[in-house]
Structure 1
Amino acid sequence: MSRDLLPGATGVLALADGTVLQGVGVGAVGEAVGEVCFNTAMSGYQEILTDPSYMAQIVTFTFPHVGNVGTNLEDLEQVSGSASTAARGAIFRDLPTRPASWRSDVDLGTWMARRGVIGLAGVDTRALTKRIREHGMPHAVIAHYADGKFDLDALIERARAWTGLVGLDLAKDASCLQPFVWEEGLWAWGEGYAKPPGRPKYEVVVVDYGVKRNILRALASIGARATVVPATTTAEEILARKPDGVLLSNGPGDPAATGEYAVPEIKKLVDSGTPVFGICLGHQMLSLALGAKTVKMEQGHHGANHPVKDLTTGKVEIVSMNHGFTVDRDTLPAPVVETHVSLFDGTNAGIALADRPVFSVQHHPEASPGPTDSLYLFDRFAGLMDRAK
């Protein structure tokens, strides 16, 4: 039935267990169902909300002040798909602040409304984060209506009826529809994004499971011309392009579900001897192709302050992570070598083959969350391509 909430409440978050959080609606009007996670980053909210890896998720920002740098056309991470193939909702402690940056084109709330992202402000995000840490990521419906009237029973029932991310292939929807070439490089102060190189040093095929722009920019900055192809592209079609290397991109959903069509093709790419580099979902599906298993995490890893140790060098990196599934390290078969590990919980964060030019990482080396600790992985990929040549 329809009920009125507290005066001034124009937004709610209805959890599958019957809990209802209320506050002030922000951004788009309407409803969206998804899995609620939390992100511990202090900046980069536009990149987070346009990351296809967050498809079918509602992001709780633990940092209380969001919106101060506004939004712009340059900081989008999404390359393919519609706005619905990224985060569906956002939860804030305070109302988004007015932008105070020379790079801002429009404020966060207006931008969210244009993209169809539903927001909720005025929520105790500490309590919600603690709940997720203790009980896992709940299914929920986020809703925003200016009149403050919600059918709470219907919202709760919709959250209960949602089947969740396990067994869900989302990469096809997040992927491009046809191949295209990317040549823009990384951003530099005073110069903006690098112009396309004259003659590329490498030809790289990127399998798009929901690729982020900065992955493509990082490839361009090592001298690669990236040809982006749909998630369902066969190994034969990829190898026919005679690439120097293949990158398996990040993306949303259950890797085992996407792997039903992707894993057989990845196996062929590995067997071809072509250098292969996997990131996030690409890492998980490469692991599946090599014989390991993936499992759903309770809280997932979402943030820009995650310590990861590179076991090949002994160095610790501060990295950006965004994943709700993980590779079960106990199922890694020989000759797979574990190369990176999370220092938060000991979960796997990278692998390599001992006898072939193949490696992958769970984190996002292109994200540069303040430090640029992990950009060296693109140089490592370039070294593999040099040796293969």
Structure 2
Amino acid sequence: MRGTLSLSNGKSFTGSWKGTPSDAQGEIVFYTGMTGYEEVLTDPSYHGQIIVFSYPLMGQYGIQTAHLESAKIQVAGIVATELYEGELEKGISLIEFATAQGVPLMTGVDTRSVIQEIREDGTMQAVISLEGKPLPPWEPIQTFLVPNVTSPSIQTYGSGELHVGLIDFGYKKSILTALLNRGCMVSVFPYTVPTSELDSFNLDGLVFSNGPGDPFSLKHYIPTYRDWMERYPSLGICLGHQLIALAFGASTTKLPFGHRGANHPVMNSKTNKVSMSSQNHSYVVEKENLPTSLGVLYRNVNDSSIEGLYHLKLPIMTVQFHPEASPGPAEHHEVFEQFFLSIDPEKKVYVNA
């Protein structure tokens, strides 16, 4: 079967249809990493988006359940230049994985041209449909997506001297794993948890997770989050970074086409050390309106955007990138180590290096 990828700017591209024969509409974005497609497809921060892979060949090593970031595919559709369809030593193929979950997949697409359109006109709505099928009406891009990916109830994992609360806006499983590997107990809370219930767990610190959409769509919860941040040592990752910035008076803005890949260089403003990072976000904290209570901890080497913050008086730090997804693979372990030190320097935490 043949399929068509139609962009809201009027451009369209054709290719071979490999996934389930159903339309998909969503914001189209691109990912620049050569590997990591399992993690990308199941990352809740990509919820509802159509993902274009820039690397020419995808699916080389199949799907291994140990690498999934959530229980299902989160993207609305998948676009690639070429898909590996040969034999695998273990696991299932990318095509089988997408088909089983009802996610349309196109291959043989001129992804370089698609990505050029996104780079020139910014992220936009797109539709994947069977060739010749009329386009549905264009829907506005959804910005409040967290309710679709948050945990329905409180769950506690692991055991240890420290008890960390993970505020769930659509957390990646590897964030939970990174915390558990450091020898603590972790309770995952829906982002709507009442303060009284959160406080009843006698937590030592909070991690505000990644998640999809516009951070300002959560504006009604920000005063509550600031109350938590002022009482608990806190770490914000990706969307969590943006929410902490908003809570203390900063503002956010949307990038034309975002940062999505495993090869984004960031510089630590205190050490001047440059390291590679894994990123997936559309929004950034505006450096022009940064409040005096926050200092810049990391900057993006390519565009100088803010990649991390720290509070000048409170034990609060943030990162826009994903410290649990170190491309190196040991970069940014210090983010978690500094978080645990901010909880209580006297408490020894095992670090699984």
TMscore range, shorter length:
over 0.9
Letter in 2 for 1:178: S
Q: Relative to structure 2, which stretch is displaced further, 127-136 or 285-294?
A: 127-136
Structure 1 segments unaligned to the other structure (5+ residues): 1-8, 184-198
Partner of 1:164: 141
Q: What are the within-5 Å matches in structure 2 for residues 161-200 of structure 1?
A: 161-165=138-142, 168-183=143-158, 199-200=159-160
Q: What's the RMSD between the two structures over aligned residues?
A: 1.6
8 A Cα contact 1:284 1:326, kept in partner: yes
Residues 99 and 308 from structure 1, CA distance in 2 versus in 1: closer, same or farther, beyond 3 angstroms?
A: farther
Query: What amino acid maps onto 2:146 in structure 1?
Result: A
2:196 to 225, 236, 254: 236
The reply on whether 1:15 has 2:3 as its aligned counterpart is no
Q: 25, 45, 60: which one pairs with 1:68? A: 60
Which position in structure 2 is the counterpart of 1:266? 225
For 1:93 and 1:61, locate their aligned partners in 2 and report how far apart those are by CA, in whole Å. Answer: 8
- Aligned residues of 1:65 and 1:96 also touching (Cα < 8 A): yes
Alignment match, 2:350: none
Flag the 1:357–1:314 CA change in 2: closer, same or farther, 3 A.
same
CA distance in 1, matches of 2:153, 2:227: 21
The superposition leaves residues 324-378 of structure 1 with CA deviations (integer Å, 9 ceiling, x where unpaired) of 1111111110110110110111111010101010011000000122432012211
Instruction: Give the conservation status (yes or no) of the 8 Å contact 1:68–1:99.
Output: no
Structure 1 residues 99 and 230, CA, compared in 2 at 3 Å: closer, same or farther? Answer: farther
Name the structure 1 match of 2:76.
Answer: 88
Does 1:44 find its partner at 2:36? Answer: yes
Distance 1:65 1:171 in 2: 31
**How many angstroms does 1:388 deviate by?**
8.6
Given candidates 96, 99, 103, the residue that maps to 1:113 is 99
Residue of structure 2 equivalent to 1:6? none
2:301 aligned with 1:301, yes or no? no
Residue 46 of structure 1 deviates from its aligned partner by 0.7
Q: What SS does the corresponding residue of 1:345 show, helix, strand or coil?
A: coil
Task: Give 3-state SS (helix, strand or coil) of 1:359's partner.
Answer: strand
1:192: which partner in 2?
Answer: none
Answer yes or no: is the 8 Å Cα contact 1:175–1:231 preserved in 2: yes
- Partner of 1:74, secondary structure, is helix
The one-letter amino acid of 1:44's match is: G
Q: What's the TM-score once normalised by structure 2's chain length? A: 0.94
Alignment of 1:120-131 (within 5 A): 120-131=106-117
* Contact 1:89 1:119 survives alignment (8 Å): yes
- For residues 1-389 of structure 1, the aligned pairs below 5 Å read 10-78=2-70, 83=72, 86-100=74-88, 102=89, 104-143=90-129, 145=130, 148-151=131-134, 154-155=135-136, 158=137, 161-165=138-142, 168-183=143-158, 199-261=159-221, 263-272=222-231, 274-387=232-345
Deviations 1:173-218 (A, max 9, x none): 11010011233xxxxxxxxxxxxxxx50310010100000000000
Quick one: which amino acid aligns to residue 335 of structure 2? L
The superposition leaves residues 212-255 of structure 1 with CA deviations (integer Å, 9 ceiling, x where unpaired) of 00000000111111100111113332222111110000000110
The amino acid across from 1:247 in the alignment is V
Does the CA-based 8 Å contact 2:165-2:189 persist in structure 1?
yes
Cα distance in 2 between the residues matched to 1:325 and 1:39 = 16
Q: Secondary structure at 1:130's aligned position in 2? A: helix
Residues in 2 aligned to 1:77 and 1:98: alpha-carbon distance in whole angstroms: 25
Q: Whole-Å Cα distance in 1 between the matches of residues 236 and 335 of structure 2?
A: 11
Q: Is the 8 A contact 1:67 1:98 kept in 2?
A: no
Please state how far the C-alpha of 1:99 moved relative to its aligned partner: 4.9
Counterpart secondary structure, 1:247: strand
> Is the contact between residue 57 and residue 89 of structure 1 (CA under 8 Å) also seen in structure 2?
yes
Q: TM-score, normalised by structure 1?
A: 0.86
Distance 1:386 1:99, change over 3 A: farther
Quote the Cα distance in structure 1 between the aligned partners of 2:86 and 2:339: 41
Q: State the aligned residue count.
A: 347
Task: Please list every run of 5 or more consecutive structure 2 residues that lacks an aligned counterpart in the other structure.
Answer: 348-353
Q: Quick one: distance in 2 between partners of 1:239 and 1:264?
A: 16
- Cα gap change, 1:28 to 1:388, in 2 (>3 Å): farther
- Counterparts of 1:97 and 1:305, CA distance in 2: 27
Q: CA deviation at 1:149?
A: 4.2
Contact 1:207–1:249 under 8 Å retained in 2: yes
Alignment partners' CA distance in 2, 1:295 and 1:364: 19
- Aligned letter for 2:9? D
SS in 2 for 1:27: coil
> Match of 2:351?
none
